[in-house]
Amino acid sequence: MRTIVAGNWKMNTDRLSAEALVSAVVQHAGGIVPEVEVIIAPPFPFLAMAVAKCEGSRIIVAAQNCHQAEKGAYTGEVSATMLKSLGVTACIVGHSERRQYFGESDAVIGEKAAALLAIGLTPIFCCGENQEERTSGRHFHVVTEQMKGALGRFSNAELERIVIAYEPVWAIGTGLTASKEQAQEMHAHIRALLHTHGASVAERVPILYGGSCNPTNAESLFAQLDVNGGLIGGASLVAEQFLELVRIAGKKQ
């Protein structure tokens, strides 16, 4: 199974700090645990720069969002085709911040993933429950519905090209992390859902953990059987921390 550490920069950095962060990651990532796949997802305006700087390195550049349509009158939006033309090869879809602040439904998220798959890009599909859903014991049901609603349309061959990130909303940017047991049981649940599409889907789709993941708590999370790395927010903005997370993920190999 692949191990992946992905950095979601969200709406952070500016031109100069983005350049400095990409450079630092590229410069130091080379020597560390080559088996771990390293992905960075800078904001749209810095993607071309990031692709140029990452050329010839191990770093994969992803976007944080895309529009589901191929092109057209959607002022301010960015299509998967545009991303591909820049050399971007992956894209986060369905992040809880997109669901919460931009009203993205599972159906729309599924359309975005379909647009990416159609042109050979990798969707990094995010799912996860909020605090109230966990407290009321509905977290497995919520994640099941998110998966079915967005990914139900795909063939096995398509599903095998997706990366999943479980990000409990209550753990994102809060300093609260899922315990290793909470992470493992949800990842095992997601794996079981994938298994209903066949063993090869379950065996091939990496499931990343996200939510206040940092070098202090990552080791026990990444060590869990069904945790195949992390989707990192805050700690991905500090090159040393992000690279340390890559090192920690390498211990899984």
How big is the site for ligand 13P, counted in residues (CB under 6 A)? 14
CA 199 to chain centre: 22
Asked if 54 and 20 count as a contact pair (C-beta separation under 8 A), the reply is no
Among 142, 172, 183, 201, interactor with ligand 13P by CB under 6 A: 172
DSSP code for 57:
S
- Any contact of residue 63 with ligand 13P (CB under 6 A)? no
Among 13, 65, 146, 212, binds ligand 13P (CB under 6 A): 212
Hey, CA dihedral for 52, 56, 59, 64, is it positive or negative?
A: positive
Q: How far apart, in whole angstroms, are the C-alpha atoms of residue 223 and residue 54? A: 28
Please choose, out of 130-138, 166-174, 178-186, 216-224, the segment that lies near ligand 13P by the rule CB under 6 A.
Answer: 166-174
Q: Does 231 bind ligand 13P (CB under 6 A)?
A: yes
Q: Is 234 in the site for ligand 13P (CB under 6 A)?
A: yes
User: Near ligand 13P by CB under 6 A, which window of 83-91, 148-156, 226-234, 240-248?
Assistant: 226-234
CA atoms in the 13 A half-sphere facing the CB of 141? 7
163 DSSP β-pair partners: 124
For residue 229, state whether it binds ligand 13P (rule: CB under 6 A).
no
User: Does 173 contact ligand 13P by CB under 6 A?
Assistant: yes
Query: Does 50 help bind ligand 13P (rule: CB under 6 A)?
Result: no
Q: In which region does residue 212 sit, left (phi positive, over 0), alpha (psi from -120 to 50) or beta (all else)?
A: left
The site for ligand 13P (CB under 6 A) is made up of 8, 95, 167, 172-173, 210-213, 231-235
